[in-house]
Amino acid sequence: MKKAKIYKPTKTAMQSGLKKTDKWIIEFITKDTSINPLMGWESSDDTYSEINLQFSTKELAIEYAKKNKINYEIIEPKKRKIIKKSYADNFLK
């Protein structure tokens, strides 16, 4: 049985905006990784590990997983704490 995780990606450390964080992604989980004897890289015989499917909503991703009989785990995004700052606050204390 295929296992996958459904999540919404977070922004990278090099990103200041939220450009590529609006899609939900299904990423298949692979457990049979091994070390390639020639190059020493981590490799796998499972081609599902190379697939990332993007959906516009979480409901569409869940519907796709149920339709294709994929066991899935949903990872909910964490809310950002936005602290309003003002330059004037440096001089008020």
Question: Looking at residue 62, what DSSP letter applies?
Answer: H
Q: Which of 74, 59, 57 is nearest to 23 (CA)?
A: 57
65 by Cβ neighbours in 10 Å (0-12 / 13-18 / 19+) ranks as buried
Q: How confident is the model at residue 5, as a pLDDT? A: 95
Q: What domains are defined for the chain?
A: 1-9+21-34+42-79 (3.30.160.190)
Q: How confident is the model at residue 83, as a pLDDT? A: 85
Q: How confident is the model at residue 65, as a pLDDT? A: 94
Q: Say whether pLDDT at 1 is over 80.
A: no
Q: Say whether pLDDT at 56 is over 70.
A: yes
